[in-house]
Amino acid sequence: MKKIFILGACGLFLSIAGAQGVMTPELLWSLGRVGAETVTPDGQHVIFGVTYYDIATGVGERNLFSIGLTDHKPIQLTTTKGGENSVMTLPGGKMGYIYQGQIWQSEWDGSNAKQLTNYPDGLSNVRFSPDGKHILFSKDVKLIDVLASEKYKDLPNSSVRIYESLNYRHWDTWEDGAYSHIMLATWDNGIIGPEKDIMDGLPFDSPQMPFGGVEDFMFHNDNDHIIYVTKALHGTDYTQSTNTDIYLYTMSTGDTKNITAGMEGYDTNPNFSPDGNRLAWLSMARNGYEADKNRLYINDIKNKVVIDASESFDESIEALRWSNNGNFIYFLSPINGTLQLFELDVTNVFTKVDGRKRNPIRQVTSGDYDVASIVGETNGMLVVTRTDMNHAAELFLVNPSTGVMTAITEINKPNYDKIGMCKTERKMVKTTDGLDMLVWFIYPPNFDPNKKYPTLLYCQGGPQSALTQFYSFRWNFQLMASQGYIVVAPNRRGMPGHGTKWNEQISKDWGGQAINDYYSAIDYAKTLPYVDADRCGAVGASYGGYSVYMMAGTHQGRFKTFIAHDGLFNLQSFYGTTDEMWFATWDLGGPYWSRGVQDNSYLQFNPITFVSEWNTPILIFQGGKDYRTTEDQAFQAFQAAQLRGIRSRFVYLPDENHWVLKCHNGLAWQREFFDWLHQTL
């Protein structure tokens, strides 16, 4: 029945679009997913990967491609079954990449491919020393016994786990007593010599779990020093702190030094300048606050000067990269509902004019799109990936002097040419406290302002994550609008891109001004002649799911239906089950047993408090491997809705985490999503 609905809905909106197709879940999952790799050493080509999903089997296949920066003609480099990734320049200049856990070598045109290594456990996060004589890679090192079969040798078939501290599970994985460590070994054309654990067998992770990668460590160009990121804590202490530090390891002596000691928050993304004389990294000031302003620090190693190069910049920084000549640092930052490219003039940071520093930061790009990543630099131009609400990631060239962008790839153009695009529009809405709030409006293809459309209020998660021109393969605004809905997406309190004060206002106030911002957005939308005020719904995940649960008991008839994914329903049980305690402690103001906290986070701002007011249909999604917002939250919410006699549906995804990553699960999610809206809105 659900499949019939999707096809029928597509037929309906085809006629609306004037015989032009629209985005559907199946088309969305058939798009090529472009992932940038690197610029070739000669600066003439970009290597990138494209993943395609077979809708019939749900299996994804990733291959490598090369595209010329002058002719823009893509050439497929690999055809082997499975995903090739982590393209690198091997000692000697040939192309290297990881395939099935081993390093492979080929020419830069993909020819003469051969396997170089046969490492027993597989390799990941590989770095080579500048002289090509050493290799770094990450490896899980077993340090602590947690299984009963390990503790009691006569019980080999026991599946019992035994823990004496928190962090017993993280994100979507149970702790098994192994830690990710950086291994140093000699390299001789595929022969990996004796390896050394530069972390000395300590129970810390590098790369950082669960999302850290090769950006967490690198060689210095003197071939003797290595920097890496770790949080020197484990167990319960680990769950209560965000204090990662950057460590300097000396190969010749085996000594390790903490070079960010005293900096109490996250220290990440360490990068040496091309000449090795300066080290840049990102740093947050406050321990326990994972959404603190991310500052850009530079250590002038020769002159022993450390400065906050972003002191006057009122936003968080991400994805930094040195220019090839070392005079600039390029980085990304959210700004006014988009993610843009910025340039920091390193010379200006250390130079004063008339005793005053000049402003070293300049915005390079601007427009209704996101610069999603910085790939590399060639011939004075930057290679980036770019998205907007109608287009998945593609490669672009950027002139850093003018900000002018030129498309390099158009992998999905044949599909886009067959469907109608969705207009996106900025609107400024007054909030209940008299401030201006940016709200994105996304309209169906061939939008007719003389008609009335059902409308969805989209509630972003985070809660302090930017709502920009991103392109999601689940919460896809183009897909939602293409099914005939107007999407209203507010940049409510707590979102970066509007100054640090706006970003910080949500902490300890989850159910306060941010929820009022949502109400301001939907109340404004209902004044527009093309919004059907009687057919509005609210949808969201994570904090967005919390927002849906919160509004379900306080919306006073504004909405006709709700959809919540992995939302927080009961903040007391959330505090007792979530994996990263620093987040819950900071954002909620403390544990539920602390005096003075209960009246706000655990009562006034707790969705379970208002269940007696629930009266609106609700669809609840939940991942079974989500240890950030655990499944008991959804169980409680669905049980409450059912016992209250409210029309409700529960969609459980046992093998998904906080996201939905598998193709067939994603398609099922989207079909249930639109089927519910069709029935209730």
Q: DSSP readout, 560-614?
A: SEEEEES----HHHHHHH-S-HHHHHHHHSS-TTSTTTTTIIIIIT-GGGGGGG-
Separation of alpha carbons 491 and 206, rounded Å = 34
Q: Are 639 and 667 in contact (CB under 8 A)?
A: no
Residue 441's closest CA among 480, 472, 402?
480
Look-up of token digits 């640090």:
500
Quote the radius of gyration of the chain (alpha carbons, Å): 26
Sign of CA pseudo-dihedral 620, 624, 626, 631: positive
Residue 632's closest CA among 585, 571, 587?
571
- Annotated active-site residue in 134, 498, 555, 658: 658
Separation of alpha carbons 429 and 526, rounded Å = 12
Q: Are 76 and 63 in contact (CB under 8 A)?
A: yes
Using DSSP's 3-state secondary structure scheme, residue 168 falls into coil
Q: Is 626 a catalytic residue?
A: yes
Separation of alpha carbons 532 and 455, rounded Å = 7
- The conformational region for residue 190 under phi > 0 = left, psi -120 to 50 = alpha, else beta, is left
- Annotated active-site residue in 241, 507, 542, 547: 542
Q: Are 180 and 209 in contact (CB under 8 A)?
A: yes
Separation of alpha carbons 40 and 96, rounded Å = 11
Q: Are strands 453-459 and 486-490 parallel, antiparallel or unpaired?
A: parallel
Q: How far apart are the first and last CA of the chain?
A: 18
Separation of alpha carbons 626 and 173, rounded Å = 9
List for the chain the helix, strand, coil content (%; round to 5). 20, 35, 45
Compute the C-alpha angle 169/170/173, nearest 5°.
70
Asked if residue 210 has a cis previous peptide bond (ω within 30° of 0), the answer is: yes
Separation of alpha carbons 266 and 230, rounded Å = 10
- Annotated active-site residue in 292, 345, 370, 626: 626
Q: Are strands 618-623 and 648-653 parallel, antiparallel or unpaired?
A: parallel
Sign of CA pseudo-dihedral 145, 151, 153, 158: negative
Q: Are 206 and 213 in contact (CB under 8 A)?
A: no
Using DSSP's 3-state secondary structure scheme, residue 547 falls into helix
Widest CA span in the chain? 77
Separation of alpha carbons 567 and 664, rounded Å = 22
Separation of alpha carbons 229 and 123, rounded Å = 19
Number of H helices, E strands in the chain: 14, 40
Question: What residues are annotated to the active site?
Answer: 542, 626, 658
